[in-house]
């Protein structure tokens, strides 16, 4: 009986336009919360597409560029099929990645310099002792 009720609700919900089913604020809040939970602090843009076509639900600066898009289905039915996709892009992704790697790269460089200096000092001492 519960499954029948859920299926009836899903059939009814499919008739409701996406902009009435979910708001921009809800999507922004959920995306921001999920990114924070994963330790990702980066600006994002998003858009909801219906069968490959844009809907009214999107951020103001969202631009579709296939290379920079992450896509996830929304509102899956019982068969795992969805008419809606949430597309998320990160305009400053390269900068974010460089900044996250930069700290480790600097530490690696520092330790490499320390090792080279220590090794050079040891060789210098060996040469001086002869």
Q: Give the mean pLDDT of 85-89.
A: 89
Tell me the pLDDT band of 42, cut-offs 50, 70 and 90. Answer: confident
Tell me the pLDDT band of 41, cut-offs 50, 70 and 90. Answer: confident
Q: Give the mean pLDDT of 107-117.
A: 97
Tell me the pLDDT band of 56, cut-offs 50, 70 and 90. Answer: confident
Q: Order across the sheet with 84-89: list the strands.
A: 53-58, 45-50, 84-89, 69-74
The answer to whether the pTM exceeds 0.85 is no
Gap between the Cα atoms of 129 and 124, Å rounded: 9
């Amino acid at each position: 009986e519960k499954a029948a009720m859920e299926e009836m609700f899903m059939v009814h919900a499919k008739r409701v336009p996406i902009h009435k089913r979910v708001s921009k604020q809800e999507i922004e809040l959920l995306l921001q919360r999920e990114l924070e939970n994963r330790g990702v602090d980066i600006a994002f843009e998003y858009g909801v597409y219906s069968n490959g076509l844009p809907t009214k639900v999107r951020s103001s600066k969202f631009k579709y560029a296939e290379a920079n898009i992450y896509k996830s289905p929304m509102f899956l039915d019982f068969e795992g099929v969805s008419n809606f996709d949430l597309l998320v892009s990160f305009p400053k992704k390269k900068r974010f990645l460089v900044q996250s790697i930069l700290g480790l790269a600097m530490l690696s460089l520092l330790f490499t310099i320390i090792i080279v200096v220590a090794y050079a000092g040891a060789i210098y001492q060996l040469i001086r002792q002869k």
